[in-house]
Amino acid sequence: MRVLVIHPVGTFGGASKSIIEFHNHLRNYSVDMEVLCASGSVVEQFGNNGYLSFSVKHISQFDNTGYGYYRGIRWLLLLREIAFLLPSFISIRKNLKNKNYDIIHINEVTLIPWAALMRRWADAPIVVHVRSLQRKETAGLRSRWLKYIMKKHVARIIAIDNSVRRTLPQEFCVNVIHNSMKVDVNKKHSLNTRTRFRVAIVGVLLKLKGVYEFLEAARILVHDRGLDIEFYVVGENTRELSGWKASILKRLDLAHDVRRDIEEFVAKNSLQDHIVLMGFIEDVQSIYADLDVLCFPSHLNAAGRPVFEAAFYGVPSIVAVKDPPPDTIIHGETGICIDKPDGRLLADAIERLFNNSDELKILGKNAKELANRNFDIKKNAEALLKLYNNVIAQQ
């Protein structure tokens, strides 16, 4: 079986990591993956795992997710996507025309507007992975247009969890297949010998991930409350900005050089002895066993991939999420949920676990059980294989 994955993000992150994990397992079933992706660190990661990739500078997207949909000043981002339409069109057509693929797997729902052309050029069914909460289906013309495309041109939809599933139209046939990870229990540790309580945020350095709220929580706990805690920031910076361009984009809240902002915050607040900026780590499994708590204070109202990754090592998470379905995190049982990404709320939750080692252990134990139950790589990869086979059989 030949599968072409279309991946629009150049930075190596959760979506690319998840598709690699799945297909590393599916190799055992003669599934051959190739990748068309935006240029960036993700190209190297696909190559390191033995996958042939075709990279282009940019692939135009249309963002109608619950967090990123176009409104106000964010309409300027759509102009960027329009500017790349023609080169995206040429690149996609070149890599699909007259190629023999059994499945086209769109790895981000923001590529949905391309579905009709991809289906025509490749003469292959389309599978779409939905990895983020969507706007309500009644939210206007844009949502209805995307719903029409999905109904007409997409063979099957995958949601990464039940939180995402419930933001999709109920009449859609959606398979919930959780992201997964092959756990290496013998992984060498990256951190030094533990001397203090350790908290981390893991993921691509983006404002929407809650990095700034994490920093503010660190400041509150160290300076206002006098707690001796180490805070680790693990992830790749997406943009290095400088000069007038950086000033304008930051003022408009359209882009941030997050690494630079972290360095300035640490220096301004004299937190050099408490905040460690680790940068990109290719294998994050090497740090989880050395942590006490993982934080995921994102603006996405969801529990991201690092939550279950840490859980496999018995590390509970603090997540900014309202009313989550019990397949990812259970408040007070496998972790702590806070109502919104807020530095003070996050600090309160960290302090609660800092002062209660018994609760910390119970949460970690329960989180590990939940991870083993819902995020097992063998079970979920085989669910994806079954989906692929069913789609092909229905053509």
pLDDT band per the 50, 70, 90 thresholds, residue 195: confident
Higher pLDDT, 259 or 245: 259
Q: How is the chain split among helix, strand and coil, in percent rounded to 5?
A: 45, 20, 40
126-130 and 103-106 beta bridge pairing: parallel
Topology alike, domains 2-180+376-393 and 197-374: yes
CB atoms within 10 A of CB 212: 17
Tens-digit pLDDT profile for residues 45-68: 999 999 998 989 899 999 999 999
Q: Residues 98-117: what's their mean pLDDT?
A: 93
pLDDT, residue 282, reads 82
Tens-digit pLDDT profile for residues 337-349: 999 999 999 999 9
Alpha carbon separation from 143 to 69, 138, 174, 271, 310 (Å, rounded): 10, 7, 17, 44, 34
Tens-digit pLDDT profile for residues 110-161: 999 999 999 889 889 999 999 999 987 656 888 889 999 999 999 999 999 9
Two structure tokens written together for 184: 């290496």
Distance of CA 158 to the CA centre of its chain: 15
Tens-digit pLDDT profile for residues 291-304: 999 999 999 999 99
Whole-model pTM: value is 0.91
Residue 256 has pLDDT above 90, yes or no: no
Residue 310 has pLDDT above 70, yes or no: yes
Pick the CATH number of 197-374 from 3.30.450.20, 3.40.50.2000, 3.30.70.260, 3.20.20.10: 3.40.50.2000
pLDDT band per the 50, 70, 90 thresholds, residue 186: low
Give the mean pLDDT of the chain.
Answer: 91
Q: Residues 343-360: what's their mean pLDDT?
A: 98
Q: Residues 166-175: what's their mean pLDDT?
A: 92
Q: Residues 309-334: what's their mean pLDDT?
A: 96
Cβ atoms of 311 and 289 closer than 8 Å: no
Q: What's the topology of domain 2-180+376-393? A: Rossmann fold (3.40.50)
pLDDT band per the 50, 70, 90 thresholds, residue 188: low
- Give phi and psi for 25, each to the nearest 5: -80, -40
Q: What is the domain partition of the chain in residue ranges?
A: 2-180+376-393, 197-374
pLDDT, residue 194, reads 67
pLDDT, residue 136, reads 74
